[in-house]
A and B are shown apart, each in its own frame.
Chain A
Amino acid sequence: MMGMKSDIKLIDDNGLRIDGRLPNQLRPIKMEVGVVKRANGSAYIEWGGNKIMAAVYGPREAYPKHVQESDRAIIRARYNMAAFSVDERKRPGPDRRSVELSKVISEALTSVVFVEKFPRTAIDVYIEVLQADAGTRVAGITAASLALAHAGIPMRDLVVGCAAGKVDGVVVLDLNKEEDNFGEADVPMAILPRTGEIALLQMDGDLTYDELTNAMEMAMDAAREIYKMEIETLKSAYRGDDNDN
């Protein structure tokens, strides 16, 4: 979305995408909870080429003390990319992008957790991007939501992240790396599927009103699909299907 021109054809003559997907098709998604034994709750997600781990610590007493809120818990999400997660090594530690993403993810998660049940505490949510392939913030918030649920933290709903955008003039769901680099727009969202509320919404690029609403509807439809996967993942963990949690 940097306005780079490219000769790469992102949509072929049959209307298929560079990785063979239809415009409204998600990449393959795999989820698992209970991957960090030390944490109160944790989750791992593979979403296309993304590999992301999330862990929750808390509610625990918030430090330093001045960050405490007397009537609620504060949620501190930290989105962090590993140095080796992208083609060109990323300097470790927070950059401006990750500071912004941590902020909007924290706010989105706060909207769904019953924070008023835990005054003066902090719920720390650590999101580690181990391998990045576009859509890391939405995959990350999906993993974070699973980790919160796995930690037994009371929530109004699960959160589902999903993005849509535009490549080669076509509105498409869930952009991959090439599409993100050379596409015309990206609309990352986080949705509470039960009520359809939107907890995270960002957009960059160049879209008409119709394209934008089209993209948002596509992401919200896909969110319902991902929601089912989330619920199934949590259920199977407690049934003990595939791990000992």
Chain B
Amino acid sequence: MTTKFSEGVVAESKRDYIKKLALQGTRIDGRGFDEVRPIKIKTGFIKRADGSALVELGDTKVLVGVKIEPGEPFPDTPNMGIMTTNVELVPLASPTFEPGPPSEEAIELARVVDRGIRESHAIDLEKLVIEEGEKVWVVFIDMHVLDYHGNLFDACGIAALTALNDAIVPAERFEVGEDFKLPMNHYPVPVTFAKIGEWIVADPNLDEESIAKARLTVTTSEEGKINAMQKGLFGTFTYEEVKKVINRSLSIGQKVREQILGGADGEEN
């Protein structure tokens, strides 16, 4: 069976309940429509990685490890480092995840996170050249989902960003100079919305995600630019809805950014 994001059957009563709450301007876990679940971040969680972050977004938990190794540049970008992203939806994290090759959900997730980081030029890849045309740093961003309670897009995006911000390029280990902090230009933050009935809520939890008709992720930078969008699921959005979602994402993203980068600076371990 293919892995499914939603747990499938939410009792009809729960669906009605969520919609009834929406009418009153609230949500099943008491949040406002633009309120993101509490975010907890532990950077430096994996000592073997060059950068890491364990991120909790409500009950959703994602661990990102960044490994950085020398490699060959792409022929068309001889003076730039390389980044790659991968997501593993390991079966430990949900009864609906199954072992095996990456599902289309995992691929989509990784690619949406990748686009936000790549298109905003979050990592200063031009500073990751060891020998032009010959040897550059390759940044592997591996995202391990550990507990799935909805909205993996934002949890993975936040975890990837904070792990990158935590990362040290291990030049000494490879005997190519002194270690240095992974150079960052920008801090893209994805904010995902779910459309439930006629309501659109930020950071959907599992219950909300499982009854959502449509989903839209918007990744914005600290400069107020939009760097990535991805619409998903079987429903549609009107243009007016999309415009509002982009604006909401800009302001929610800014708040989340302040929160997570503050947290990442004051490392606890």
- Chain A residues proximal to chain B, CB less than 8 Å: 1-4, 66-67, 96-97, 99-100, 102-104, 107, 110-111, 185, 187, 192, 195-209, 212-213, 216-217, 220
Interface string of B222-242 (1 = CB under 8 A from A): 001111111111111111001
Contact A99 B107 (CB under 8 A): yes
Task: Give Cα A187 to B242, complex, Å.
Answer: 13
Query: For chain B, which range describes its interface: under 10, 10 to 19, 20 to 34, or 35 or more residues?
Result: 35 or more
Contacting residue for A209 out of B107, B214, B224, CB 8 A: B224
Task: Give Cα A92 to B263, complex, Å.
Answer: 45
Contact A107 B234 (CB under 8 A): yes
Contact A209 B229 (CB under 8 A): no
Of A1, A107, A111, A204, the most chain B CB neighbours within 10 A belong to A204
Contact B232 A100 (CB under 8 A): no
Residues of B within 8 A of A198 (CB): 231, 236-239, 242
Residues of B within 8 A of A96 (CB): 107, 110-111
Within 1-53 of B, Cβ neighbours of A (below 8 Å) are at 1-2
Q: A66-B1, A67-B2, A213-B243 are in contact. Are A201 and B227 (CB under 8 A)?
A: no
Contacting residue for A196 out of B115, B119, B232, B238, CB 8 A: B238
* Nearest CB in chain B: distance from A70 CB, A: 11
Residues of B within 8 A of A202 (CB): 229-231
* Nearest CB in chain A: distance from B3 CB, A: 12
* Nearest CB in chain B: distance from A4 CB, A: 7
Task: Give Cα A97 to B112, complex, Å.
Answer: 11
Contact A205 B104 (CB under 8 A): no
Residues of A within 8 A of B110 (CB): 96
Residues of B within 8 A of A97 (CB): 111
Contact A220 B239 (CB under 8 A): yes
* Nearest CB in chain A: distance from B215 CB, A: 9
B interface majority secondary structure? mixed
* Nearest CB in chain A: distance from B53 CB, A: 23
- B216 interfacial contact with A, CB 8 Å: yes
Task: Give Cα A194 to B229, complex, Å.
Answer: 24
Task: Give Cα A198 to B104, complex, Å.
Answer: 22
**A-B interface, 10 closest residue pairs, ranked by CB to CB distance from nearest:** A197-B236, A203-B229, A201-B231, A110-B234, A103-B104, A204-B115, A204-B119, A99-B107, A198-B237, A100-B108
Contact A209 B111 (CB under 8 A): no
Nearest residue (CB) in A for B243 is: A213
Task: Give Cα A1 to B108, complex, Å.
Answer: 18
* Nearest CB in chain B: distance from A12 CB, A: 25
Task: Give Cα A202 to B234, complex, Å.
Answer: 15
Task: Give Cα A200 to B230, complex, Å.
Answer: 8
Nearest residue (CB) in B for A109 is: B234
Residues of A within 8 A of B115 (CB): 204
Task: Give Cα A4 to B1, complex, Å.
Answer: 41
Contact A2 B77 (CB under 8 A): yes
Contacting residue for A100 out of B76, B77, B111, B238, CB 8 A: B111
Contact B246 A212 (CB under 8 A): yes
Task: Give Cα A207 to B243, complex, Å.
Answer: 14
Task: Give Cα A67 to B105, complex, Å.
Answer: 15
Nearest residue (CB) in B for A184 is: B119
Residues of B within 8 A of A207 (CB): 225-227
Residues of A within 8 A of B119 (CB): 1, 3, 185, 204-206
